[in-house]
Structures are given as structure tokens and as C-alpha cells.
Structure 1
């Protein structure tokens, strides 16, 4: 089974620079780069952003389109190879689309952070916000699980994957311009804005991993 898993598209590079911090980005289609040519996806754009700032880092794309927090939990053990120094966790969007109970999503994220803690891997947990159509109790529980878990495990925390896409002047049309036609996934320009907003948090993750 291990050999089969090692054949999937986000294989770790065979040769890594000894002085590089290796970050695995564990996520779903937002991380994987759904609907975009390879170089326009989140991980390649983040890598370029970090390179331009002189960071000695290798970002590994561990995003799987359609993955839920349960999917992330099922593969975190073999994502955390000995070469991985840090982990970006950006999961939960598909849990929302499926209306999964926030208590289930929270337990899955807890398992992921527990595995990273056991492996002594530093984490940046990236949050997600629920829409209001599931009701206030669902939204409160879902939105709160990210900061609560970040505090519990002492991880770095970014409140929202989409923070860089805040509507200019409150105009929703400004966000639509950064999205693909499905209204769910960012286009290349939208990814650039997301990376610019999350980039400083990733630099902080690199700094923590180097300590």
C-alpha cells in the first residue's frame, strides 16, 4: 500500500536541500489548485512568493480535490514523512458543502493536529467560515473550532483562507472577479491575493520551524 501511495501526484521531491524547511500543505481543491494550470495554483504561487522573499523552503502540495477533514485525517500519517518540518492545514470547505456536523469536523482536525504534535511538526491552521444558511448554532460551532484548536495545540492560526479576497468597499462584485465561474474556487488572480494575505503567516511558520 505504501508503494501505491508513493505514486500519487504530490510525491515529495527525491532530493531536498539540507538547509530547506519542508512544508506540506494539507488541504482540498483550494490547496490542490482545482481549475488552474499547474503554475497558477496555490502551492506554486506560494512557493514563488516565498522564494521572492529569500525564504529557504520547499512547499509540498498535499491537496486532494474533494477532500474533507476526514480525508485529511486518513492521510496525515503518511503526509508527515521525516523530511516534513511544518504543516499547513487548510480543510473544512467540503465539510461545509456536505453539511457535516461541526463536532465531527472538529474531531478530525483534532486528530490531524494531534498527529502533527506527535511528529513534532509545527502547524499553521487556516480557518474557514460557515455560511448562515445552516443556522446560527451550526455557524457558531464551525467557526469556533479553528481558533479553539489552534489555542489548544499552540499552533499558528490564520482566521480565513479567503482573507485576501475581502470585498473592496463591501462590493461583492469585487470578489466575483477573483473567482472561477463556479463561484467556489479562486482564479489565478484570486490565488495571488490569497497568497499575499497568507504569506506572512507562512513566513512565521518557517521561522518557528527553524527554531
Structure 2
């Protein structure tokens, strides 16, 4: 059974739960609930995570859910990808996303910052703030950073420093790093859609392999 959950459904469920508590008052606290032992892996990112052009069911988080199901591992993947998202936008919506317990948090943001030429210090600070907030909500959450690179349009210095953001954050926070999420896909026309940026279905299969190489050791 595919347990992939898009984030909008999670938010609806959270809202419904909150409404129920308001209606029943303190009775809710004494009501026994079925225990759910399934652990949650949350992918927090932009259009790459959201599966722009291919749909949620073909995006790499769904491929990860399929892999987990095939191995009979009790994990539920939540896709919290939002097309066009920057690190600043991600930071602003993070509180909503963290209304649930998250066992593994895969952070895939920053590409849109680079494409827009956002100052590198700002991008790095936002990513660090996201990491801090995740651990503030749940210190036991395991965080994985999805490294990103951009074409040299902004100049070699910017491109190199941009790439180093994820390496530096991984070392500083002692978290796992996917060196380059688009490894084997970026710059390969046959694995990208017409815009040359967003992976095809076949491209997403490779992204899932890149993620699994690191995720497997974490879970």
C-alpha cells in the first residue's frame, strides 16, 4: 500500500484534529487513540520535490515510498514540496509543516535562490534557521541535506561558494549530505523536461537513487 502523503492533506488532517479538540474539550486528552508506529520521512523542498511536470506519484519522494514499501519498512513519506519555493519562503511556512512528528527531515531548498542570485549569506542563514527550527520542534529528528549546484551564469566565485553552502552546513551541524541531488541528471537533455531544469520521470528515478544512497544509512 502506497503511504505517500502530500503536505496539503497533512495540513487538512491537522486542522480537523485541532477542531475536534476544541469541540470536545478536555475529553480528548482522555480518549485512547490507536497507536501508529509508522515513522515519518518528510521531504521539504521546491519544484524538484513537488514533481513539477510529472506529478507527485512520479516524483522522487514517491519512488522512495515505493522502495520502503517493497522492503516492508514501516515509514510514511510526506511530500512537502512547493514549486518556486526559496529558502526564505520555506522558512516562513515551516511551522505549518512541523505540526506533526518527523523522524527524518530531508531538506531540498536553495536552487531557486541561486537562480535568482540571492545573496549567499542569506541562503545559508535561512537553511541554518530551518535546521534549527526542526530541532527546536523535535531534537531527535534526523536531518539530511540535499546538496545543490547551479550553472556558472552568476560567475565562478558565486557558483563555487553556492556549492559549498551544503558542505559547510553538513559539517557544522553534523548531518548527512546528498552531495548533489541532480547528480547524473543535471545537464542531461534526455533526463530533463523541455525547460532543461526539471527532471523527467526517468530523471526522478535517478534522483531517488541519489537520495536512497544516503537515506538507507540513516533509517
After TM superposition, the score normalised by the length of structure 2 is 0.80
What residue is the counterpart of 1:18 in the other structure?
36
**Equivalent residues of 2:45, 2:108 under 8 A apart:** yes
2:192 equivalent among 168, 179, 194: 179
- How far apart, in 2, do the equivalents of 1:107 and 1:152 lie? 12
- How far apart, in 2, do the equivalents of 1:199 and 1:45 lie? 10
The alpha-carbon deviation at position 16 of structure 1 amounts to 9.4
**Equivalent residues of 1:129, 1:139 under 8 A apart:** yes
The alpha-carbon deviation at position 103 of structure 1 amounts to 0.8
What residue is the counterpart of 1:4 in the other structure?
none
- How far apart, in 1, do the equivalents of 2:179 and 2:194 lie? 25
- How far apart, in 2, do the equivalents of 1:142 and 1:95 lie? 10
**Equivalent residues of 1:10, 1:62 under 8 A apart:** no
- How far apart, in 1, do the equivalents of 2:213 and 2:99 lie? 25
**Equivalent residues of 1:123, 1:205 under 8 A apart:** no
Deviation digits for residues 37-74 of structure 1 (CA, Å, limit 9, x no counterpart)? 33212221221122223322111011000000111111
What residue is the counterpart of 1:203 in the other structure?
216
Task: Give the number of equivalent residue pairs.
Answer: 193
The alpha-carbon deviation at position 112 of structure 1 amounts to 0.5
Task: Sort the Cα spacing of 1:18 and 1:142 in 2 relative to 1 into closer, same or farther, 3 A.
Answer: same
2:85 equivalent among 46, 67, 75: 67
- How far apart, in 1, do the equivalents of 2:9 and 2:79 lie? 6
What residue is the counterpart of 1:149 in the other structure?
169
SS in 2 for 1:73: helix
Stretches of structure 2 that go unaligned for 5 or more consecutive residues are 1-6, 14-32
Q: State yes or no: 1:37 paired with 2:55.
A: yes
Q: State yes or no: 1:51 paired with 2:50.
A: no
SS in 1 for 2:102: coil
Q: How does 1:129-140 map to 2 (within 5 A)?
A: 129-140=149-160
What residue is the counterpart of 2:101 in the other structure?
83
- How far apart, in 2, do the equivalents of 1:19 and 1:9 lie? 22
Task: Sort the Cα spacing of 1:164 and 1:114 in 2 relative to 1 into closer, same or farther, 3 A.
Answer: same
**Equivalent residues of 2:44, 2:79 under 8 A apart:** yes
SS in 2 for 1:9: helix
- How far apart, in 2, do the equivalents of 1:97 and 1:35 lie? 19
